[in-house]
Amino acid sequence: MHIFKPGRFIDPFTDFGFKRIFGSEPNKDLLIDFLNQLFEGEKCIVDLVYDRTERSGPLSADRKVIFDLLCTGVDGEQFIIEMQRIRQEFFKDRCLYYVSSLIRDQVPLTTQKWDYRLKPVYLIGIMDFCFDSATKLDFISRVTLKDENGQAFYDKLGFIYVQIPNFTKREEELKSELDNWLFLLKHMNNIDKLPLFLRRPIFKKLFDIAEVSNLNKQEKMAYDASLKQARDWYAVTEYARKEGLKAGIEQGKELGIEEGIHSGKLETARKMKQKGLSDELIMDVTGLSAEQIGAL
């Protein structure tokens, strides 16, 4: 389990840290570089456009979908980037539901003829836990559609899961730029200076925007709130684990945890509103909708 503590650099596993590093227009070159390393040459991403993260279904009764990050490439391909801190029983199902919602949204709303041609959809999950089926060597899981002979059946749908706890390489064992990225995601909150082996310009920029002392007053308050929220999540999950809630976290029974997390988000939002922070910033940090924040 990731330990959240203050340090020289922001923690990328907080909502604020994740979105500052990967979710802001001025810093989208960081996300582009990270994704290109993940795809290992199978795709070459040259630019991205950030899309709204809240989507509604075609019917008013449909459940809203809220992504952590959603981007579109130059050829119309879409990328969902999700950060999942705690084990969730139906996490794979949720991922499939997310990509399905984007596929559904490609259907024209008019009566014009449509040949069913779809744009690619990919989901990248950055996880602070591991799938039960993963071995200790599996820190990247790539999922595609193949037939019984192992041949690609459909190449416009894919999932990449990064299982951070299984990434155990030390500095001297890092061999690729992807290794460097994963090392930083796992250890940035414990690093006090830019390591010599990470002198590539993209990493220099990463450390510059991630330095806590470079945050303005409002950003620092938002980061502190996000850090507290992450600690609260950790406390809730630890309590559930120790108490054996619904047979324990190891069995993925997290109904009580999810309720606790939601309550923690609401309390964080209330405190941020009391401090005069903008609704937009509160939405970024907590993941709550504008309606939920307005009701507080």
Q: What is the pLDDT of residues 40-61, one digit of tens each?
A: 989 999 999 999 988 776 655 5
Structure confidence at residue 2 as a pLDDT band (50, 70, 90): low
Structure confidence at residue 246 as a pLDDT band (50, 70, 90): very low
Q: What does the alpha-carbon distance between residue 96 and residue 100 come to, in Å, rounded to a whole number?
A: 6
- Asked if 78 contacts 122 with a C-beta cutoff of 8 angstroms, the reply is yes
pTM (predicted TM-score): 0.78
**CA separation, residue 179 to residues 34, 149, 184, 193, 250 (Å):** 11, 31, 9, 18, 28
Q: Which of 214, 213, 260, 208 is nearest to 85 (CA)?
A: 260
pLDDT of residue 20: 94
Average pLDDT over residues 79-84: 94
- Helices 279-286 and 255-274: angle between axes, nearest 10 degrees: 160
Higher pLDDT, 237 or 251: 237
161, pLDDT greater than 50: yes
Q: What contacts 151, CB < 8 A, 6 or more positions away?
A: none
Structure confidence at residue 261 as a pLDDT band (50, 70, 90): low
